[in-house]
């Protein structure tokens, strides 16, 4: 083909390249994920994921089937929970019915029994939502399960702090009981439970790791490590404050004991104060002993101690913390004579009621048998009377018919 006397072979040869001369195509590679992208992916919220997803991410596996150890743990846990609930109901009933306990210190101890009762209910709820049952929980149910335990612990800690402040005030003013009015005691108890409920709701209200999997803890896979650190440090600090307060009280009482020993009435008053102080101190000591290991393990988990193997000690710390709710009624029964007498009176009253009810049931059953026999005799006598009447009527009919014939 020619145009204007010129041919286009050269132009065509330059525009069309042979396959051998075609430059190789570069493969399209996916973009490499940078640290910023990884961080952005981790910030994605996982509200639609299951609880098992978070357990797998944190390295805490959920057992898929029930083992003998699981059955044993649940059986022992249920037994302890039932005993805890009944024992603390007994303590609360004793404080209500005995007027000698109608003072601020005993109201606070009764509130501590209510916190232990709530703890028993929380662990009872945990026993029915643990082991292989955990994988069937929703995120909200899991937060409820953990929040109940957090609320019970916070209520106990804040209540013990209030008891220590009340004892500090009464001892340093040389009084056996506080002059605080009942209205203030009620407001104080309500404030304790408000703080406890708020602390139990904090993780579900946003302080969790659902949107940041890198911050998930190992023992509580949906809790943020920062929250575990805050919670453990706060409780351990409160323990330290209470121990310092009671140490100061004992030093003061010991210093004043020499002056008060010269007067009989003051010596008796001092002995009463010291006995009550020993009871409260034993309660505080048992609480610190039972809960400190669990808080230390939570703190180690919060700081991401990989070599600590916190899951190895989790079950033991949980059992020890659960037993604390059973210790206080035992301390009351051994340390306080009035409390022990009130316990006996309540138990004897329950036994008498049960025996009276059994007696009433047996007497009712006996009367029913007698009534049935009496009814049978009456029915048989009525049948005999009716048969006699029939014979008489038949005999009279025969006599009237014979003359007519």
Q: What is the 3-state secondary structure (H, E, C) of 334-345?
A: HHCHHHHHHHHH
Going from the C-alpha of 93 to that of each of 90, 118, 189, 350, the distances in angstroms are: 5, 15, 17, 12
Residue 299's pLDDT is 92
Query: Looking at domain 51-344, which CATH architecture does it have?
Result: Up-down Bundle (1.20)
Residue 370's pLDDT is 44
Rounded CA separation 392/383 (Å): 14
0.75 exceeded by the pTM?
no
Give me 109's structure tokens: 């101890």
Could you read off the pLDDT of 189-245 as tens digits, one per residue?
999 999 999 999 999 998 999 999 989 999 999 999 999 999 999 999 998 998 898
DSSP letters for 46-108: -TTS-HHHHHHHHT-PPPSS--HHHHHHHHHHHHHHHHHHHHHHHHHHHHHH-GGG-SHHHHH
Residue 29's pLDDT is 45
Residue 367's pLDDT is 43
Residue 371's pLDDT is 46
Residue 254's pLDDT is 76
Q: Quick one: pLDDT band at residue 35, thresholds 50, 70, 90?
A: very low
Residue 95's pLDDT is 93
Average pLDDT, the chain: 78
CB atoms within 10 A of CB 312: 9
**3-state secondary structure labels for all residues of 370-392:** HHHHHHHHHHHHHHHHHHHHHHH
CA-closest candidate to residue 290, choices 126, 87, 153: 153
Give the phi and the psi of residue 59 in degrees, each rounded to 5: 90, 10
Rounded CA separation 361/257 (Å): 59
Could you read off the pLDDT of 139-196 as tens digits, one per residue?
999 999 999 999 999 999 999 999 888 888 888 877 767 778 888 999 999 999 999 9
């Amino acid at each position: 083909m020619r145009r204007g006397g010129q041919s286009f072979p050269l132009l065509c040869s330059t525009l069309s390249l042979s396959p051998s001369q075609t430059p190789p195509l570069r493969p399209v590679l996916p973009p490499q994920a940078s640290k910023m992208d990884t961080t952005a992916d981790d910030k994605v919220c996982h509200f639609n994921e299951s609880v098992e997803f978070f357990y797998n991410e944190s390295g805490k596996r959920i057992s898929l089937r029930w083992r003998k150890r699981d059955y044993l743990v649940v059986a022992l846990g249920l037994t302890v929970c039932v005993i805890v609930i009944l024992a603390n109901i007994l303590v609360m009933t004793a404080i209500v019915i005995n007027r000698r306990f109608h003072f601020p210190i005993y109201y606070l101890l009764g509130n501590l029994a209510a916190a232990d009762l709530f703890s028993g209910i929380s662990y009872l709820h945990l026993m029915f939502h643990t082991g292989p049952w955990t994988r069937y929980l929703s995120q909200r149910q899991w937060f409820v399960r953990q929040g109940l335990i957090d609320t019970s612990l916070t209520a106990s800690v804040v209540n013990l702090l209030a008891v220590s402040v009340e004892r500090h005030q009464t001892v340093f003013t040389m009084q056996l009981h506080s002059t605080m009015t009942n209205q203030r005691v009620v407001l104080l108890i309500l404030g304790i439970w408000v703080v406890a409920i708020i602390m139990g709701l904090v993780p579900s209200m946003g302080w969790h790791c659902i949107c940041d999997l890198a911050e998930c803890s190992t023992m509580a896979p949906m809790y943020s490590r920062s929250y575990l650190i805050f919670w453990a440090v706060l409780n351990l600090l409160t323990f330290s404050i209470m121990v310092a307060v009671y140490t100061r009280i004992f030093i003061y009482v010991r210093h004043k004991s020499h002056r008060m020993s010269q007067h009989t009435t003051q010596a008796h008053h001092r002995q009463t104060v010291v006995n009550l102080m020993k009871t409260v101190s034993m309660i505080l000591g048992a609480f610190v002993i039972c809960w400190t290991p669990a808080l230390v393990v939570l703190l180690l988990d919060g700081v991401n101690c990989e070599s600590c193997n916190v899951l190895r000690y989790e079950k033991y710390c949980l059992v020890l913390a659960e037993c604390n709710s059973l210790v206080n009624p035992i301390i009351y029964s051994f340390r306080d004579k009035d409390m022990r007498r009130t316990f006996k009176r309540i138990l004897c009253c329950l036994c008498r009621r049960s025996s009276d009810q059994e007696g009433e049931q047996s007497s009712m059953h006996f009367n029913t048998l007698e009534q049935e026999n009496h009814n049978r005799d009456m029915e048989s006598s009525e049948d005999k009377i009716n048969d006699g009447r029939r014979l008489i009527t038949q005999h009279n009919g025969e006599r009237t018919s014979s003359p007519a014939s």
